[in-house]
Structure 1
Amino acid sequence: MFYRAKNIIIFTLFGLVLSSYGQSKITGKIIDSYSNTALGYVEIININTQKTTTSNLDGSFEILEEGLYTFNKKGYAVKNLKLLFNHNYTIQLELNPSALNEIIVHANHIPKALKKATASISIISSKDIKRSNNTDFAPILNRTPGVFMQSGALNTNRITIRGIGSRNLFGTSKIRAYFKDIPLTNGSGETNIEDFELASISNFEITKGAFSSIYGAGLGGVVQLKPQHSFLNQSDLNTEFSFGAFGLTKGVINLNHGSRKNSFRAVFSKTHSDGYRDNNEYDRQTFTLSSNHYLNKNNEISFLASYIDLKAFIPSSLNENDYINTPKSAAFTWEQTQGYEDTKRGVFGASWKHNYTSNIQQVSSVFTSFRNTYEPRPFNILDENTLAIGIRSRLLGNSKLFDKNLYWTFGGEFFKDIYKYKTFENLYEDFPSGTGSVKGDKLSNFKEKRNYYNVFAETNIEATNKTTLTFGLNLNKTAYNLEDHFIISDDNPDQSGQFKFKNIVSPKLGASHLFSKNLSVFSSISHGFSPISLNETLLPDGQINTNLKPETGWNFEIGARGTTSNNKLHYNISIYRLDIKNLLVSRRTAQDEFIGINAGRTQHDGLELALNYNWIEKDNISINTFINYTHNNFIFKEFIEDTNNFSGNNLTGVPKNIFNAGMDLNLTLGFYGNINYQYVGSMPITDSNSLYSDSYNLTNLKIGYQENLNKTLKLNVFFGLNNIFDEKYASQILINASGFGGNLPRYFYPGNPVNYFGGINLNCIF
């Protein structure tokens, strides 16, 4: 009996030892910090013992020793973290912009290395964003081949991708944009991103051309703004104050707090500028909040909210005489009315990610947004309100097909917005000069209900270890409903009505092949479309033109990505043809009245080149250079308007050549700097090509010093000059402008002369 008792005690103690040993382990999961996508095959190295393990395909790992570990994966910055027993960690890795072709992209929700992508995708990293001041989007986007942003003021911009959107007179159109999963494009296809705070954005992912079936198959492509995500296992406070020419002041507070399972980030900013021109004052406050919550190994929830309060005065465009002689002046009537835009805007979204199995997951998002604007203008006063709601959901998975890896996703998006707008008389001429705008009688009162849905599917098939095939399909249905709530009379006909597009099916086919680990080639054929705004469907008699057709087109492209064997040179090159039919033209019928007509076809042939070279990459110094070049050969293939035949002319509002070059320098002493040069060729201002803008050259410089004051506090001071050589240029043009009342047409927005900026940044890690 004693023997049996002794055995029981021994086995019990042995069991306790095994149990104790089983509990003394470290588990976790490694994810992409921007997309929360699992990262497999990450090297996990114990710094003290140099023992190495690797994360599983789903990003999970298990370690049996406490200590300080290094997490290393191509395309991502190395991360060091102390790991303790009996903890479950979620490790977030950040993109490394110097490893361009290893970066993981998510343009179709199926993560893959950029070198295996079958589309033309550009990544604007946080490093690229910080090359300039933290106020203006244009210098950042304009370094991307194929993308061109004209900027008449901080709140007056037009973005084009491969020439798409160049014919939109005011603002950005025919290009889709998303803030994470929340659409920034309204129901009429108009987009506004420049109001967002740059300090709240981690990077941009731009898919060029009609290739993104997952995001609506827009002709120009998709701009995805990736917000700065909150980080787990750390808390830090980043504050920045900057100043500049023309009365610029800006403050940013960026706070992150993260535990093992929950993280929060809040970004607040306040910006003021007097502006270079008259009637050019700008005030903006923004607040952005994001959080991530890892409920368990199969469920994650994230929230994103952004609020913007903006008041910006509008100097508008100038005629050629004023542009040359008095570029600081505002347009006469805009200065008399003291015209401005007063906007409050917010977006909110919640996302849920659920893993059904290790191979199948579902990601669903619900979102809402609003925009309220009051805008006094010389011809009237606009009061508008927009409220939008929507949902996106998709399944993602991977499986085998004939022993080939098959990655797939399918899902849908539904979007609905209600747009209410009224216009009023502006009685400024009835009051003494300096009074500004005075609200008069109501001129119109409309309510638009705009909705669409996209159903999409896409697959990536790894036909071989080196060849990837992509198939995609998008089905879109768009409809508008217009309610006219103004008094109906002979002079004011009832404009109520409905407009529905036919179902539009947009397929795509792409392929990429790795000729070696340093060279990949891709090609694609894809279809896209651009919706018609309801305003463009209205005829002068108030009726809706149901004969209008949306612009549709096919994109044909071939390109290559790669690096040299020594990994110093990274290159991307692509050539494409985008053939668009049912060209939609806005014909002006009065000072503030336009109608839309289908006038023909355009052909967009282009070449895009990006080169990045690491000259020196040592512990004490690094020197990197880049060259980006865009060649645009865009013509009206067929364009007949009334008795005018513009066929064969160059597309208005787009330069034929854009060239960017720059150099970055970093020293271990703490000093850093960069210089950027841009050449923009002349561009046709009128469809007849009788008037062109002048080409121009811009050079910008930024230098700084950063130092770790102690283990928790980092200092960064910087100073910069924009337009160093004081080039006189038109930063935005208004195509086909008309003069009214005997006045000259106002084509030109003057660019800023030489100007400076500077600032100080403190980052404290708790």
Structure 2
Amino acid sequence: MHAFRYTYTFLFFLLMMLPQVLQAQELYSGHVLSAQTEQPLQGVTVTASSGEQGISNENGYFSLATATAPARLVFSYIGYKTEIITNPGAGQELRVLLQPGAASLQEVVITGYETNRPLLQTAGAVSIIEREVIERFDESSIVRAVNTVPGVRMEERAPSSYRISIRGSSLRSPYGIRNVKLYYDGIPFTEANGTTALNLMDAANIGSIEVLKGPTGSIYGAGTGGTVLLEPRRAADGEQSLEVGAMTGSFGLRRYTATARVGGEKSSILVQYARQEYDGHRQQSAVDREVLLLSSEFKPSDKRTISANLVYSDLYYELPGGLTQEQYEQDPSQARGGMFGSVAQNASMNQEGVNVGLKQAYRFSEQFRNTTSVYGLHRFRNHPFNTDYERNTNQEMGGRTSFAYDAQLGSIGTTVTAGGEFQRGFEAARTYDNNGGTPGDLRTDDEVVAKSGFAFAQAEFELPADFIATAALSLNDTRYEITRLHQAGSGSYRYNRDFESVLSPRVALLKQLTEEVSIHASVSSGFSPPTEEEILTSDGQLNEELEAEKGTNYEAGVRGFGLNGRLSFDLVAYYFRLKETIVSRQDVSSVAVFRNVGSTNQKGIETSIGYTLVDEPTQQLSLLKVWTSYTFSHFRFDEYQQDENDYSGNELTGVAPHTATAGLDLNTRFGLYLHLTANYSDEVPLNDENTIYADNYLVAGARLGVKKRLGQHFGLEVFSGVDNVTDKKYSLGNDLNAFGGRFFQPAPGRNYYGGLSLKYTL
């Protein structure tokens, strides 16, 4: 409790110390309407090139104050083409007409590189997952939504046990999320020790997702995998509503949500509660999760915006364990058996945590602005495993600040951004014997301090002939301090590991060929130190020889639109060379151990294409579009010698050479909708020797529903769906290099769900 009090005092003090300067403001207001019906559009995002944002209310009205006259206002709304107004006039009512069109999904404003530009003007491989994509599935998890974008692979080894891979192998992630940095509302969600407890969050908490692929250390610090930016749900300007929802499905799925929203010109508050229960499609695979979200945003003055978020979660899920090929073929619903079986040892995870974050955006002058965030978290983990029992407590605090300055170098518009980030975490970690699901004798007792930080700088230049050039650099540092208070059979000791500070540069160049097509290229390097769980394994052993990964990425791409906006496309090719690659193997006790193995070569192509066949909001069939994404991965071990075995040239473990997702979306004017989705994965090597493979698979699903207005105040949605409609038997989230041949984690067979939501708007 004392640590919490100090954390909150620090957060409050740091916010109060932010500079406060009065500046003149420019005001832009008006109405946003549908170009075809001239009806007001609620929820349109209005973004100024100077960084400020606003949202239109139920009457389509928006009001946006800026400290300086922006070069452009960007109006973006799902289902409509993005509209950009250059050099808008302040003080006059604007009338903005948005044309319907699926292209807006690819033309949203990108915040990931802190430039607030449309995707067409962003030099980098970026994928966007909007709220509508998350809602096209059942929301019991975000796995299927994330897997709609190319170059990204998300898996569930067990329900609520997430693993994410971006342009790389899952070798470092036998469980959990590593080598991928996550932020929630611009605030670090990945902890100082390099791990991310994304399963503490519910899919309903997320408004949208930006995925930055490849090394992004120049802005987001250490990491060779990529960065995921999660935006929270917000109440729209002028919205006052209450919404409740319920869903039920196969294998005992039960889900309940309740949301309250109050949005005004100066404030926005959203409170949401979600409860999910699941009996499990296998033995020992049940889930029980409760999540409370408080998402708020305040504008105490025209120059300042403050947001505050709180996520409290209580999560329990069971771990069925991996199966051998014979067990998988015989009965995929069984759990790992034997003396140390999952049922006998109650293999499970019980986590309770709270994350609190505060962020302030502040403008000092017409050219100078700052964004600063601070956060604190507390997490408790109670984890009986097949061969041991872990009890951990984490407390952490940290912050991030970023300063941006707009300048004019002759005829060249320039934006310089600089800042830093620091995280400090403390963990009390204990391991015990597992006696049938209860802790036995104490094995190890450790105190771990993790410190991670970096400083960064970036310059962006608007060059003649529609070129945009970017140069960025960061200096990263990570340190672990481990104090062993107890170890069975030996005494206590201290172990410190300070990874050498590393510079991570990035340079990028974009050329906008036309108003609808642009090309881009970039070179970036990444640095990824081992996580605490890789240095201090779950059986309490210290891995003192592990080194950080380092890699360089080269990429080039083209994106744009065609056929009067009905066609959207995005194509990226890349080559990534990774040195000191970290891989994992299971020992005889099923504990993951980690080693550096030379280098890997990773070459790939990522594509996404969408085509709108029908886009007539006033007709009975108002929207019909098809889309697909495809990923080609040619990943190989370049140099890999293990004892007497040479695996150089082998396929990288855990990576499918080909993956693809395709979908069809249909909407009608009276509210009926249909979403069809199919997902394909090529066979996957499950061990470094390339002697065992998971079979390829093709699974499909559908969701059918209707949304209707009931009078002036009520809105109703009723829906039903099916996943894995062909009842395909496949493994998702395989255990790589598993001891005893326990590679396979069976996914659910054919399953159904249905539910409804009722919304009352004041």
Q: Same fold (TM over 0.5)?
A: yes
Comparing 607-616 with 330-339, greater Cα deviation is found at 330-339
Name 2:243's counterpart in structure 1: 238
3-state DSSP of counterpart to 2:343:
helix
Letter of the 2:75 counterpart = K
How many residues were matched structurally? 707
CA deviations on 1:113-157 (whole Å, 9 max, x unpaired) are 100111100000011111110112211111110001121222222
2:162 to 141, 157, 164: 157
CA distance in 1, matches of 2:56, 2:193: 52
Name 1:311's counterpart in structure 2: 316
Letter of the 2:690 counterpart = N
Return the offset for 1:423: 1.1
Name 1:373's counterpart in structure 2: 381
Query: In the alignment, is residue 571 of structure 1 matched against residue 569 of structure 2?
Result: yes
CA contact (8 A) 2:348 2:385 kept: yes
Letter of the 1:521 counterpart = I
Letter of the 2:401 counterpart = S
Name 1:531's counterpart in structure 2: 529
Name 2:664's counterpart in structure 1: 663
1:425 to 420, 425, 433: 433
Letter of the 2:198 counterpart = I
Return the offset for 1:543: 8.9
CA contact (8 A) 2:598 2:640 kept: yes
Letter of the 2:600 counterpart = T
CA distance in 1, matches of 2:175, 2:541: 24
With over 3 angstroms needed to count, the CA separation of the structure-2 counterparts of 1:284 and 1:530, relative to structure 1, is same
CA contact (8 A) 2:585 2:594 kept: yes
CA distance in 1, matches of 2:243, 2:531: 42
Return the offset for 1:613: 0.7
CA contact (8 A) 2:611 2:627 kept: yes
With over 3 angstroms needed to count, the CA separation of the structure-2 counterparts of 1:112 and 1:478, relative to structure 1, is same
CA distance in 1, matches of 2:286, 2:57: 55
Query: In the alignment, is residue 554 of structure 1 matched against residue 552 of structure 2?
Result: yes
Comparing 355-364 with 721-730, greater Cα deviation is found at 355-364
With over 3 angstroms needed to count, the CA separation of the structure-2 counterparts of 1:641 and 1:494, relative to structure 1, is farther
**Structure whose alpha-carbon radius of gyration is higher:** 1
Return the offset for 1:293: 1.1
CA distance in 2, matches of 1:366, 1:36: 26
With over 3 angstroms needed to count, the CA separation of the structure-2 counterparts of 1:626 and 1:542, relative to structure 1, is closer
With over 3 angstroms needed to count, the CA separation of the structure-2 counterparts of 1:536 and 1:732, relative to structure 1, is closer
CA contact (8 A) 1:44 1:72 kept: no
Letter of the 1:576 counterpart = Y
CA distance in 2, matches of 1:55, 1:263: 15
CA distance in 2, matches of 1:652, 1:176: 22
Return the offset for 1:159: 0.9
Comparing 589-598 with 283-292, greater Cα deviation is found at 589-598
Return the offset for 1:537: 4.0
Name 1:747's counterpart in structure 2: 743
With over 3 angstroms needed to count, the CA separation of the structure-2 counterparts of 1:358 and 1:540, relative to structure 1, is closer
3-state DSSP of counterpart to 1:204:
strand
1:350 to 352, 358, 362: 358
With over 3 angstroms needed to count, the CA separation of the structure-2 counterparts of 1:38 and 1:400, relative to structure 1, is same
Name 1:692's counterpart in structure 2: 693
CA contact (8 A) 2:217 2:504 kept: no
Query: In the alignment, is residue 197 of structure 1 matched against residue 202 of structure 2?
Result: yes
Name 1:8's counterpart in structure 2: none
Name 1:434's counterpart in structure 2: none
Query: In the alignment, is residue 284 of structure 1 matched against residue 280 of structure 2?
Result: no
CA deviations on 1:185-244 (whole Å, 9 max, x unpaired) are 222322232331111211100000013521114211001111112333221112111111
CA distance in 2, matches of 1:368, 1:96: 41
Name 2:150's counterpart in structure 1: 145
Query: In the alignment, is residue 183 of structure 1 matched against residue 194 of structure 2?
Result: no
CA contact (8 A) 2:46 2:55 kept: no
Letter of the 1:73 counterpart = F
CA distance in 2, matches of 1:45, 1:291: 17
3-state DSSP of counterpart to 1:334:
coil
CA distance in 1, matches of 2:445, 2:93: 58
CA deviations on 1:419-471 (whole Å, 9 max, x unpaired) are 1111111222xxxxxxxx23211111011100011101112111125110011
Q: Normalised by the size of structure 1, how large is the TM-score?
A: 0.87
CA deviations on 1:90-111 (whole Å, 9 max, x unpaired) are x9x9x99741343110112221
Q: Normalised by the size of structure 2, how large is the TM-score?
A: 0.87
Letter of the 1:38 counterpart = A
3-state DSSP of counterpart to 2:199:
coil
Return the offset for 1:34: 11
1:218 to 220, 223, 230: 223
- Provide the alpha-carbon RMSD of the alignment: 3.3
CA contact (8 A) 2:103 2:565 kept: no
Name 1:17's counterpart in structure 2: none
CA deviations on 1:6-31 (whole Å, 9 max, x unpaired) are xxxxxxxxxxxxxxxxxxx9976999
With over 3 angstroms needed to count, the CA separation of the structure-2 counterparts of 1:702 and 1:201, relative to structure 1, is same
Name 1:758's counterpart in structure 2: 754
CA contact (8 A) 1:169 1:735 kept: yes
CA distance in 1, matches of 2:322, 2:665: 35
Letter of the 2:743 counterpart = Y
With over 3 angstroms needed to count, the CA separation of the structure-2 counterparts of 1:45 and 1:350, relative to structure 1, is closer
Return the offset for 1:55: 7.5
CA contact (8 A) 2:581 2:600 kept: yes
CA deviations on 1:394-436 (whole Å, 9 max, x unpaired) are 11121112321112211000001111111111222xxxxxxxx
Query: In the alignment, is residue 648 of structure 1 matched against residue 649 of structure 2?
Result: yes
CA deviations on 1:262-309 (whole Å, 9 max, x unpaired) are 221101011111011111211110000011111111122110110110
- What is the 5 A alignment of 1:718-737? 718-737=719-738
Comparing 31-40 with 156-165, greater Cα deviation is found at 31-40
Return the offset for 1:573: 0.3
CA contact (8 A) 2:57 2:239 kept: no
Query: In the alignment, is residue 253 of structure 1 matched against residue 261 of structure 2?
Result: no
Letter of the 2:411 counterpart = D
Return the offset for 1:492: 2.6
Letter of the 1:199 counterpart = A
2:496 to 470, 495, 498: 498
- What is the 5 A alignment of 1:541-620? 547-591=545-589, 593-619=591-617, 620=619
Letter of the 2:434 counterpart = N
CA distance in 1, matches of 2:715, 2:107: 29
Letter of the 1:405 counterpart = G
Return the offset for 1:540: 13
Name 1:481's counterpart in structure 2: 481
Return the offset for 1:659: 1.0
Return the offset for 1:318: 1.0
CA distance in 2, matches of 1:593, 1:291: 42
With over 3 angstroms needed to count, the CA separation of the structure-2 counterparts of 1:237 and 1:60, relative to structure 1, is farther
Compare relative contact order (CA 8 Å, sep 6+) and give the higher one, 1 or 2.
Answer: 2
CA contact (8 A) 1:493 1:541 kept: no
CA distance in 2, matches of 1:592, 1:746: 9
Letter of the 1:679 counterpart = Y
Q: What are structure 1's unaligned runs of at least 5 residues?
A: 1-24, 62-70, 80-85, 429-436, 740-744
Return the offset for 1:54: 11
Return the offset for 1:36: 8.9
With over 3 angstroms needed to count, the CA separation of the structure-2 counterparts of 1:419 and 1:102, relative to structure 1, is same
Q: Quick one: percent identity of the two aligned structures?
A: 26
3-state DSSP of counterpart to 1:501:
strand
CA contact (8 A) 2:46 2:76 kept: no
Letter of the 2:352 counterpart = K
CA distance in 2, matches of 1:44, 1:540: 47
3-state DSSP of counterpart to 1:99:
helix
Comparing 404-413 with 580-589, greater Cα deviation is found at 580-589
Query: In the alignment, is residue 324 of structure 1 matched against residue 329 of structure 2?
Result: yes
Name 2:20's counterpart in structure 1: none
Return the offset for 1:320: 1.2
Name 1:73's counterpart in structure 2: 75
1:510 to 502, 508, 515: 508
Query: In the alignment, is residue 382 of structure 1 matched against residue 390 of structure 2?
Result: yes
3-state DSSP of counterpart to 2:132:
helix
CA distance in 1, matches of 2:79, 2:539: 61
Name 1:522's counterpart in structure 2: 520
